[in-house]
A and B are shown apart, each in its own frame.
Chain A
Amino acid sequence: MKDNKIVKLSLVLFLVCAIAAGVLGVVYNLTKPTIDRRALEKTTAAFAAVLEAESYEVVDTGAYTLDRSVNSVYKASDGSGYVVESTFSGAQGNITMVVGVKSDYTCSGISITEHSETSGLGAVAASASDAGVAFREQFIGVGENVTVKDIDAIAGATITSTAVTNAVATSITTVKTIEGGAAA
């Protein structure tokens, strides 16, 4: 008798989960093209914002020992520099950002593509507001030795500010490693 009940409960629960999974699958498939397109637009816009170039080619990073927070490296087709995409952990989750690095190993601009920082605090780093733009613009021209002490951190968001600064420094180091490797 008791076994029967357990089987019945499991079946009901299974059925509910199966229906939910089915519905979610449909919605996921319906929204995926739009979400992917938005993500692509965002990445392209982010690339253009950090380092202007006609097109970007992927650099094969397998040949170099790079910091493991670096996701991918792109080289500007006109040789003006690199765009490095990296993921660092912020206060609430991962922060994914692209950093433009010019051939003289200075930062040409940064753009945060994905984050889950606190709205109104850490999220300012990625926002389109004046404070957000000012925060990101101060990285233009900095070198690989930049630390969070050299910049005006966002008030109440030290961890986010540190993560962004580390990402900039790591990106420049990465480009140095790659350029150095190419020369050797």
Chain B
Amino acid sequence: MNIRDQFREGLITNNPITVQQIGMCATMAITTSLFNGVGMGLSVLIILTCCNVVVSAVRKIIPNEIRLAIFVVIIASFVTIVDLLLKAYIPALSDSLGVFIPLIVVNCIIIGRAEAFCQKNDIKASFFDGIFQGLGYTVILIVMCVIRELLGSGRFGGGLIDVAKGFRFTLDGTGGGIQIFPSEFGASILTLPFGGFLTLGVVIAAMQYFLKKSAREKKAAEEAAAEAARLAAEQEED
């Protein structure tokens, strides 16, 4: 499998959220502001990449019977490291994501990739798998954050962008974001957890529609090509 295929898989054809549909709990809970979405996405990306590399590196020396226990220990260690680092250096993100950072331990994306991919592939492939699956996760989180934040509270980039004193990016979560319309007019339903379900459903449906459409177009193009070849062959016979 080459890197380009892996890139396409992680972001589109085998996206962790919209196609594999794993790791949904945190997805619905934290996608209320861009700051949370980017922070959570990048945390998962880093943890996933580290875990993938380590799992792949030890895949031949660990006994098969206890591999899941060992995966869990590896994952829990990396999650704790990231949790401690966030607490020390980006406390605002740690405060805002709260319990969802430690909960990455039980996020099925990570154990899922370890079990389904890394124990069968070499370190390099696992490394890129971590990066691209993490990116796919981050992109969908960002899409959901933007939709929920805009329609739910009329804002864009909450926590991350500060426009009070000129346009700038903030890392301490204090930025108010860009208010596009007054928050009273927002459908605040979307910022509640079940608004997460609604948004996720729509995002998955849209993604599946385009995946099916592109598959259909590809098939149609192939059929057209086959038809043309058949016609050409017939003409030659005449």
Determine which of A13, A17, A23, A123 lies in contact with B96 in the assembled complex, contact meaning CB atoms within 8 Å.
Answer: A123
B74 located at the interface, meaning its Cβ lies under 8 Å from any Cβ of chain A in the complex: yes
Complex Cα–Cα for A156 and B193 (A) = 10
B46 located at the interface, meaning its Cβ lies under 8 Å from any Cβ of chain A in the complex: no
Given the known A-B contacts A12-B66, A31-B88, are A120 and B80 also in contact in the complex, defined by CB atoms under 8 Å?
no
A40 located at the interface, meaning its Cβ lies under 8 Å from any Cβ of chain B in the complex: no
**Which of the four size classes fits the interface of chain B?**
35 or more
- Do B63 and A31 touch (CB < 8 A)? no
- Do B176 and A129 touch (CB < 8 A)? yes
B20 located at the interface, meaning its Cβ lies under 8 Å from any Cβ of chain A in the complex: no
Which A residues are CB-close (under 8 A) to B191? 120-121
- Do A116 and B99 touch (CB < 8 A)? yes
Determine which of B87, B96, B98, B173 lies in contact with A35 in the assembled complex, contact meaning CB atoms within 8 Å.
Answer: B87
A45 located at the interface, meaning its Cβ lies under 8 Å from any Cβ of chain B in the complex: no
Complex Cα–Cα for A166 and B193 (A) = 26
Which A residues are CB-close (under 8 A) to B56? none
- Do A119 and B98 touch (CB < 8 A)? yes
A8 located at the interface, meaning its Cβ lies under 8 Å from any Cβ of chain B in the complex: yes
- Do B84 and A31 touch (CB < 8 A)? yes
> Interface digits, A7-23 against B, CB 8 Å rule (1 contact, 0 not)?
01100110011001001
Residue of A nearest to B61 (CB): A12
B197 located at the interface, meaning its Cβ lies under 8 Å from any Cβ of chain A in the complex: no
A172 located at the interface, meaning its Cβ lies under 8 Å from any Cβ of chain B in the complex: no
Given the known A-B contacts A24-B81, A120-B191, A155-B188, are A93 and B63 also in contact in the complex, defined by CB atoms under 8 Å?
no
- Do B62 and A12 touch (CB < 8 A)? yes
- Do B70 and A117 touch (CB < 8 A)? no
A1: min CB distance to chain B, Å? 15
- Do B188 and A119 touch (CB < 8 A)? no
Given the known A-B contacts A20-B76, A20-B77, A155-B188, are A8 and B32 also in contact in the complex, defined by CB atoms under 8 Å?
no
A4 located at the interface, meaning its Cβ lies under 8 Å from any Cβ of chain B in the complex: no
Residues 1 to 55 of chain A near chain B (Cβ within 8 Å): 8-9, 12-13, 16-17, 20, 23-24, 27-28, 31, 34-35, 38
Determine which of A34, A120, A128, A156 lies in contact with B89 in the assembled complex, contact meaning CB atoms within 8 Å.
Answer: A34
Residues 93 to 135 of chain B near chain A (Cβ within 8 Å): 95-100
Which A residues are CB-close (under 8 A) to B74? 16, 20
- Do A27 and B176 touch (CB < 8 A)? no
A142 located at the interface, meaning its Cβ lies under 8 Å from any Cβ of chain B in the complex: no
A115 located at the interface, meaning its Cβ lies under 8 Å from any Cβ of chain B in the complex: yes
Residues 35 to 84 of chain B near chain A (Cβ within 8 Å): 36, 62-63, 65-66, 69-70, 73-74, 76-77, 80-81, 84
- Do A156 and B192 touch (CB < 8 A)? yes
Which B residues are CB-close (under 8 A) to A126? 95
A69 located at the interface, meaning its Cβ lies under 8 Å from any Cβ of chain B in the complex: no
- Do A119 and B30 touch (CB < 8 A)? yes
- Do A27 and B84 touch (CB < 8 A)? yes
**Residues of chain A having any CB pair with chain B under 8 Å:** 8-9, 12-13, 16-17, 20, 23-24, 27-28, 31, 34-35, 38, 92-93, 115-121, 123, 126-130, 155-156
Other contacts beyond A38-B87, A130-B176: 9, CB < 8 A = A20-B76, A23-B81, A27-B80, A116-B98, A119-B97, A119-B98, A120-B36, A127-B96, A156-B192
